[in-house]
């Protein structure tokens, strides 16, 4: 896996001085193990899919990926808690891994290649590292607190990324996953009015729209209904790339059950438009 259209290089020397470097390397190793499982099962004729109580799908690949990551955590980081979508949501013990084994399961089971494994590390009340690995897109994004955000296979083959510098809403590009949920929040009309005033609206969806914000290709992305495992890995990547990530009330981080990521310059104006 590599960001082949970019000139990648090694950032090991810079990142190795970061106190969280070992955790980042562990997260990247978890992603390697996850990719081997998810990529092998993508498009498999015998993929088993069932509906969870919330009517969302889960496949045997989702559970196998999360199980493998949990095994790696137990081997490398014994004592760390795990909050995962499929196999249990533990309370934090001071250090907690936030896992979405396959973000975009609906895409995964339909053969759409936009899906990824999300791995975040929470220390105290902060998410300090994140890895988003999308093998079907042949790409990966990662970040560590104080160390910047990157796109590429790993610390030895990456390019540093940064959000855009677009400062006007009328010049901005925004991505949404869908319109579902905005009506229940009571702000769908505000959302439509906002997007009507923008340069461009697209629906890249799920993790990908937030990574596009982080790499400067999209200026804003939002979703009205999210869990911690949907956002944990995304937050450090967006913020280390120079962006802003809050809930729709403006509270920073992945704790509010919804998310808005922007390049920072547009954040307050978009929040105000949605209120």
Binding site as annotated, residues for Mg(2+): 85, 100, 102-103, 230
Tokens of 99: 């896992």
d(CA 72, CA 69): 5
d(CA 190, CA 87): 37
d(CA 122, CA 130): 9
Buried b (16+ CB within 10 A) or exposed e, 246-265: bbbeeeebbebbbbbbbbbb
Binding annotation: 85, 100, 102-103, 230
* Strands annotated E in 6-154: 49-51, 57-59, 81-84, 88-89, 95-103, 116-123, 126-134, 139-144, 148-154
In the DSSP assignment, the letter for residue 67 is: H
Closest CA to 261 of 71, 236, 88, 24: 236
Give 77's contacts (C-beta < 8 A, 6+ positions apart). Answer: 23, 26, 95, 97
In the DSSP assignment, the letter for residue 18 is: S
Which residue is associated with the tokens 């919804």? 258
> Any idea of the CA torsion for 39, 84, 235, 190, to the nearest 10 degrees?
100
d(CA 199, CA 169): 8
């Amino acid at each position: 896996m590599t960001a082949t259209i970019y000139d990648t290089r090694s950032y090991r020397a810079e990142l190795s001085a970061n106190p969280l470097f070992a955790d980042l390397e562990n997260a990247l190793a978890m992603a390697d193990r996850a990719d081997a499982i998810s990529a092998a099962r993508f498009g498999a004729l015998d993929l088993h899919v069932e509906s969870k109580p919330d009517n969302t799908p889960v496949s045997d690949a989702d559970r196998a990926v999360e199980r493998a990551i949990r095994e790696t955590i137990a081997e490398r980081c014994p004592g760390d808690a795990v909050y995962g979508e499929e196999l249990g949501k533990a309370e934090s013990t001071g250090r907690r891994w936030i896992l979405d084994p396959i973000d975009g399961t609906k895409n995964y089971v339909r053969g759409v290649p936009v899906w990824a494994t999300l791995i975040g590390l929470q220390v105290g009340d902060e998410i300090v590292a994140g890895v988003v690995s999308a093998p079907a897109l042949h790409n990966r994004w990662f970040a560590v607190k104080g160390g910047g955000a990157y796109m590429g296979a790993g610390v030895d083959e990456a390019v540093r990324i940064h959000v855009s510098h677009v400062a006007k809403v009328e010049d901005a590009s925004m991505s949404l996953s869908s319109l579902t949920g905005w009506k229940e929040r009571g702000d769908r009309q505000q959302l439509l009015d906002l997007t009507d005033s923008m340069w461009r609206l697209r629906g890249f969806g799920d993790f990908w729209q937030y990574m596009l914000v982080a790499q400067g290709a999209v200026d804003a992305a939002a979703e009205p209904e999210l869990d911690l495992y949907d956002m944990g890995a995304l937050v450090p990547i967006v913020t280390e790339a120079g962006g802003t990530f809050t809930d729709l009330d403006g509270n920073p981080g992945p704790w509010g059950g919804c998310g808005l990521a922007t390049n920072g310059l547009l954040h307050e104006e978009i929040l105000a438009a949605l209120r």
